[in-house]
Every structure is written in C-alpha cells, then in structure tokens.
Amino acid sequence: MAAAYLDPNLNHTPSSSTKTHLNSGVERSPGTMERVLKVFHYFESNNEPTTWASIIRHGDATDVWGIIQKIVDCHKVKNVACFGLRLSHLQSEEVHWLHPDIGVSNVREKFELGHAPEGWKYELRIRYLPKGFLNQFIEDKPTLNFLYQQVKNDYMLEIADQVDQEIALKLGCLEIRRSYCEMRGNALDKKSNYEVLEKDVGLRRFFPKSLLDSVKAKNLRKMIQQTFRQFANLNREESILKFFEILSPVYRFDKECFKCALGSSWIISVELAIGPEEGISHLTDKGSNPTHLADFHQVQTIQYSTNEDKDRKGMLQMKIAGAPEPLTVTAPSLTIAENMADLIDGYCRLVTGATQSFIIQPQKEGERALPSIPKLANNEKQGIRSHAVSVSETDDYAEIIDEEDTYTMPSTRDYEIQRERIELGRCIGEGQFGDVHQGVYVTPENPAMAVAIKTCKNCTSDSIREKFLQEALTMRQFDHPHIVKLIGVITENPVWIIMELCTQGELRSFLQVRKYSLDLASLILYAYQLSTALAYLESKRFVHRDIAARNVLVSSTDCVKLGDFGLSRYMEDSTYYKASKGKLPIKWMAPESINFRRFTSASDVWMF
C-alpha cells in the first residue's frame, strides 16, 4: 500500500488567507484533479462538530489506506484496523465505502468528474468492530472517544426523535456530564448555570427536537435537573460507557444490515446482518432469530460482480472453509454488493490480522497482473520515510494542512533567528513551559537590542515543542502598541522564543512596590491601555484565557503591554472556544469557564 507522508516544511495552522485559498480549490490545469482532499472525522476538537476535518494533500500513488493512516497516526490511535473511509453524495445520498487498496486519484476521477466535487463528502468512520470492542477501546482513548462521537451523531440524526422520552433525557444528560465533567452534580440546580446551558450552549445540542417541542420549558428544566443528578458521580469515560449501555437496546450501532437475497435469484429475500457478534447472519422476517451463515475467520475469498440480466443487480460470492459451494448473495445494485464486500473484507482482516485483501478482482481479458509489492528493507518502516523527501522525488505522499494542536513555522522561515546572534543573560522569570532570560539580539541594524528569551524546560518530545511554539505562532499575528511583540524563534533544540523586553517587569510586582506612589491617573491609563489590547484581540477573534496582573508587563512608567499567550486560542468560526484539557487559572475565571470550559471575549473581560 502507498503510505501517507507529512511535509516538515508545511504550516499546519493556516492563516485565513490560506483557508480561503483551500476553499476555492488548488490551482490546476483544466481537466486535472486538485490534489487536496478534505476528510471529515469524529476526533473531537474545539470547533463545532460539523467542522471536524483534516485537509490532506495526496499524490498520484497515494491509496485510501495512506489517507486513513495519516489521520489516525496524528491522534495516536491503536486500533487502526477498525477505521474505514466513506464517500457519500449529499444530494442523491449515494454511499460508497472505499477499499483501502484503491488509489485516491482513481476514486476522484471515477466519482468527482461525474458530479460537482462539492457534492461529495469524504468521512473517516469506525466500521469494523472487534468482539468486546468497548473493553478493548478503554485502553485506546482516542478510538473510544471517536466511536462515541460517531454513534452520538448518528443517533441524533437518525433515531433521536423516535426514542422514548426517558431514554432521550438520559442520553442527553450523559452528554452534558461527559462534556462538562468538572461541573458539580447539582450545578444545574442553579438558575444561572442552567440558563448558560439553555441559551449559550443550546439544549438542541443534547436533546432531540421532538422532546424540546413537546415539554413545557419549566417542566423540561425539572426533568433535566432530576435526570442529571443520577449521573452526578460519573467521570468522562463512565459517561461514555453508560451512554452505550442505554442506547444499545434501541439502536444496534455495532452491526450493519442489508436487504438482499440468498442465491443468484430473488427467491429467498432476507436481511443480511454483519457484525462482531453475529458474524455473517440473515433474518427472513422481523422478530425472527438470526440464522448464522459463517464466521469471518472461515471466509477464504470474496468476489463481487454484476448480473448479466437487465436488472444489473450486484452479486457477492464468498468461499467458506468447509462449505461444499460458495455462499452467494444477490444485492439490489453493484454498489451495495461492493459495500458489503468491503465490510466483510475489513472484518476478515481485523479477525485474522491479515494485511492482504480477501477480495479477488476478476481479471479482464488482455489484462496482466501487476507484480507483487517488494518487501521493505530491515531498516525501513512502513509509512515512515528514512530521509527527507521533496515533491520532485516522488508523488507518493499525503500532507495534513490543518490539524488540531500542531505547529510549524512558515515555510519562508521569516521568524527564524540564528542562535549565534543571541547573547543569553540572567534569568528574570519562570513560566509554565520554561524560564525567561534577559538577553541581547545582535543585528547589523541594531548591534545591541535588549530582548526577553523564553526557553523550553523539557522539549524532549515533538508534542512539548509544539505546545511551547504555539505561543510564538499566536504572537506573530499581533501588531498592537500594548501587546508584547514577537522578535523571532529558534526552532532547533534548545528551542527559544525571542520577544521584546519590558524593562520594568510584571505589573503585579510593579504595583506592589509602588502602591503608595502611583496616582489614580496612571492606574486609569494602565486599565485603558489593556482594554485596547483586549478589544484588539477580540477583533482578531482570539481569546487570551489568562488575563492577570502577572501576565501584564511594564514597558515604561506610562506604558503596559499584555503578554504570555501560552493559553491563547483562535475561535475560528465559533463564538466561543471550549477547552478540552490542561491546567487553567481558576481563581480568575468566569463562571461559564469554570462550569462549561467556555471562553469568549466576555470571559476575558471578566478576568480583566
């Protein structure tokens, strides 16, 4: 299989201009496919769930598995074999499950050239589940959370309006508990907290429309408060498992069913059920017990084709170990037969641990089989390059352009500073990730520029380094007289961030030392200057999340500047930012930030 690769020079957090460019399509010659693929997924991020996606660049030799592997590797998934890629047409509701061995370029040429590319949606989903999957996924948190978000989304779209009122209440309250697990069990009894949930977050996020429309607001509030108390002591993981426990009897998300017929004609109409518990089974009518046909480890080969009759139905044939003849299933169309084949093939790979597909493609007359893929050398690892590769060396690559919590400096390296130009001085402060030193930046224009240098304490892993450099990525987007300016970065270990030096130090200690000498006019001036900085951040759609006197620096007796952007986040298209993890300054936080981990420009003002 062709693997997916990440270009180290690529900026993974594009500016708004980059996003506009991607939305409008990559430049290409007429009649050629753009080489960028947007893949929606259920890895939770700080944006609205409908926007969770990764933008992938692919080459001509990149296959579907390369795309899947690149995305799941970024999220440290263990159960990679459970994932598949689904292509659906938004208007016709046509659905195709893409086999991992298929080339991405072939897929796009086959489907997108016949319809407008905007009409298709590529979606990463968990499709193949092992037996006892919940117990297995407890040890694999990214996969457990992904499955939860996927199932919850399907439940809300497909059956939430039809389930019993009590079940809908419980499932909705479990999602509240999971989303805001730091919130006390009786927090919703307080009117202000409930109103934040109702008006700011929105009850529609948790409960189906039918429930909200059929119950009066006052009664609904009491029902939600009472139900929420039942789950007061559950943590995030326990809330997820309880959600699955309540949902499973009314919604079998762990199996797929297909209306088809056994044999090569439509004599015996059945519903074929495929899943980890059933294996391959069929039902002749509703309410009947399933008849077991085969286990996945018994399947030896899978073939699908189109009937030669005028109906052009799809035919699926499986060679089963110990069976005298192949198991034949007739599907309403070739597409459904292909989707069934992919599902069974995925389960067979999962159960047996095989890397080769069980599907046998019929060889057309005149075709010659391709030679087998050579084995990797001992010093090579599948999916990882042993050296840096440029576009000119191969087209066999895929790149993530916009992925949550990743960082690289711009490809032009316009903020990179040579270490020999920096003279490191005494330590003047300590931060969350490292110490701050006074220093000198030597340039031809200014041979002795005084600067502040933030060092990284333990940049031994890429993840720590990325989090540390996130502050520089944020700061380089600001240009305001009362916000500390970024001078540059040194991205090689040891990693440094170089900023302008505010010689008077932190505002907190400055005020403590001069509390008897500062006049009211100076205090009002400082407050005004900081308010202009906050207004500027709001205009740029950033929340600081750590407004405190210790993070305000005094440049001179009549000028203060806001600094320490380690917790700052861009709100993108949302009106708020939701923190998913990490330490937060609780003493200064607004109530909605404490209870719901929601941060807005208004919560910055509260801290101010």
Q: In CATH, what number is assigned to the domain containing residue 278?
A: 2.30.29.30
Q: Are residues 185 and 261 in the same domain?
A: no
Domain boundary pick from 221, 248, 275: 248
Q: How many C-alpha atoms does 437 have within 13 Å on its Cβ side? A: 16
Q: How buried is 597 (Cβ within 10 angstroms: 0-12 exposed, 13-18 middle, 19+ buried)?
A: buried
The CATH number for 524's domain is: 1.10.510.10
Predicted confidence (pLDDT) per residue in 28-63, tens digit = 434 444 578 999 999 988 777 778 899 988 888 889
Rounded (10°) angle between helices 141-158 and 236-247: 40
- Domain-located, residue 378: no
Q: Would you call 488 helix, strand, or coil by DSSP?
A: strand
483: tokens are 């916000």
Alpha carbon distance 109, 65 (integer Å): 18
* Cβ-Cβ contacts under 8 Å for 597 (sequence gap 6 or more): 180, 182, 578, 579, 580, 584
- Domain-located, residue 180: yes
pTM of the model: 0.64
Q: Per-residue DSSP letters for 203-232?
A: GGGTS-HHHHHHS-HHHHHHHHHHHHHHTT
- Domain-located, residue 55: yes
Residue 198 predicted with pLDDT over 70? yes
Altogether, the residues listed in the chain come to a count of: 608
Instruction: Please tell me whether the peptide bond between 585 and the residue prior to it is cis, using omega within 30 degrees of 0.
Output: no
Q: Considering its fold, how many domains does the chain have in total? A: 5
Of 209, 231, 236, nearest to 220 (Cα)? 209
Q: Are residues 265 and 201 in the same domain?
A: no
Amino acid at 66: G
What is the enclosing helix (H) or strand (E) of 169? helix 165-179
- Domain-located, residue 373: no
Region of poorest pLDDT, from 197-201, 238-242, 394-398: 394-398
Domain boundary pick from 299, 317, 352: 352
Residue position matching structure tokens 């309006």:
161
- Domain-located, residue 22: no
- Give the pLDDT confidence score for residue 389 in this predicted structure: 32
The CATH number for 170's domain is: 1.20.80.10
Q: Are residues 454 and 488 in the same domain?
A: yes
Region of poorest pLDDT, from 109-118, 181-190, 339-348: 109-118
User: Whole-angstrom distance between the N-terminal and C-terminal Cα of the chain?
Assistant: 54
Predicted confidence (pLDDT) per residue in 513-527, tens digit = 888 888 999 999 999
Q: Can you say which residues are annotated as belonging to the binding site for ATP?
A: 454
- Domain-located, residue 43: yes
- Give the pLDDT confidence score for residue 36 in this predicted structure: 87
The number of angstroms, rounded, from the C-alpha of 285 to the middle of its chain's C-alpha atoms is: 40
- Domain-located, residue 410: no
- Give the pLDDT confidence score for residue 335 in this predicted structure: 93
Question: Over pLDDT 70: what percentage of the chain?
Answer: 75
In 10 A of CB 125, how many CB atoms?
18
Q: Would you call 282 helix, strand, or coil by DSSP?
A: strand
Range of the domain at 556: 509-607
Predicted confidence (pLDDT) per residue in 239-254, tens digit = 999 999 999 999 999 9
The CATH number for 123's domain is: 3.10.20.90
Pairing of strands 268-275, 577-578: unpaired
Q: Are residues 206 and 223 in the same domain?
A: yes
Q: Are residues 214 and 270 in the same domain?
A: no
Q: C-alpha distances in angstroms, 394 versus 108, 377, 543?
A: 20, 19, 41
Of 232, 231, 215, nearest to 223 (Cα)? 215
Q: Are residues 243 and 268 in the same domain?
A: no
Whole-angstrom Cα Rg for the chain: 29
- Give the pLDDT confidence score for residue 401 in this predicted structure: 46
Q: Are residues 476 and 450 in the same domain?
A: yes
The CATH number for 465's domain is: 3.30.200.20
Q: What is the DSSP letter of 198?
A: I
Alpha carbon distance 492, 219 (integer Å): 60
Q: How many C-alpha atoms does 442 have within 13 Å on its Cβ side? A: 7
pLDDT, mean of residues 76-99: 93
- Domain-located, residue 364: no
Question: Over pLDDT 90: what percentage of the chain?
Answer: 38
User: Where would I find the beta strands (DSSP E) of 60-108?
Assistant: 83-89, 95-98
Residue 564 is among the residues annotated as catalytic for this protein: no
Q: Are residues 196 and 214 in the same domain?
A: yes
Q: What is the DSSP letter of 444?
A: S
220: tokens are 């609904």
204: tokens are 């529609």
Region of poorest pLDDT, from 197-201, 247-251, 465-469: 465-469
Residue 406 predicted with pLDDT over 80? no
> Of residues 546, 558, 564, 573, which has the active-site annotation?
546
Q: Per-residue DSSP letters for 493-550?
A: SSPEEEEE--TT-BHHHHHHHTTTT--HHHHHHHHHHHHHHHHHHHHTTEE-S---GG
Beginning with the edge strand found earlier in the chain, give each strand of the sheet holding 449-455 in spatial order.
Answer: 422-430, 435-441, 449-455, 496-500, 486-490
Amino acid at 146: F
